[in-house]
Amino acid sequence: MKRAVYPGSFDPITNGHLDIITRASRLVDELVVAVMVNPSKRHLFTLEERQEMILEVCSGLDNVSVSTFSGLLVHYLDEVGVPIIIKGLRAISDFESEFQMAALNTTLDHKVETLFMMTAVKNAFLSSSMVRQIANLQGPVSDMVPDVVNRRLVERYGPPKPNNQGNTRRK
């Protein structure tokens, strides 16, 4: 049985994350979405809220489970007995940092392998931090995140403001 872990903060989960989860779930027998506690980040959603949203958006994927962890990823992988990490890549800049993390993880535990998946082109610009920023400024993010996440962002920040495209001055 091939099992893999897709780790991340998922604050919040985006359509880009969901794309990787859906595609990765077709490649392995079991995919664990591992929501990490990152003490160096100030999260918008609590660990429990992030886990709930992921469970809801992945409810139709029978071989996907959701877990949480803190500390080193390699320690978590050893604890759950999974040697494969799935990581999504959007751009060259992602590759540079993810390559470094993959090398470190393999150095810490030689049994660990990291598999990289390119995100779908339509999601290549998405990041949780950008979604949070747009939602905070009451911009529309409904095309960037699953419905449950959009609802929670609207609850937190209010509905998107109308687009003021007509306010441009002309001479």
Is 4 within 8 Å of 18 (Cβ atoms)? Answer: no
Tokens matching residue 48: 């429990």
The reported pTM is 0.91
Which of 3, 65, 90, 142 is catalytic? The answer is: 90
Q: Could you say which of 3.50.50.60, 3.30.390.30, 3.40.50.620, 2.40.37.10 is the CATH number of the domain covering 3-124?
A: 3.40.50.620
> Which member of 41, 75, 151, 161 is catalytic?
41
Domain residue spans of the chain: 3-124
- Residue with token string 């949203």: 53
Angle between helices 73-80 and 92-108 in degrees, nearest 10: 60
pLDDT digits (tens, 9 = 90+) for 26-58: 999 999 999 998 888 889 999 999 999 999 999
Residues 59-69: tens digit of each pLDDT: 999 999 999 99
Q: What is the pLDDT of residues 60-101, one digit of tens each?
A: 999 999 999 999 999 999 999 999 999 999 887 788 899 999
Contact 17, 88 (CB under 8 A): yes
What kind and span of H or E run contains 124?
Answer: none
Other C-beta atoms closer than 10 Å to the C-beta of 147 total 10
Selecting among 17, 50, 87, 152, the annotated active-site residue is 17
Tell which residue, 137, 146, 126, 115, has the closest CA to residue 52.
Answer: 146
Let me know if 128 is a catalytic residue: yes
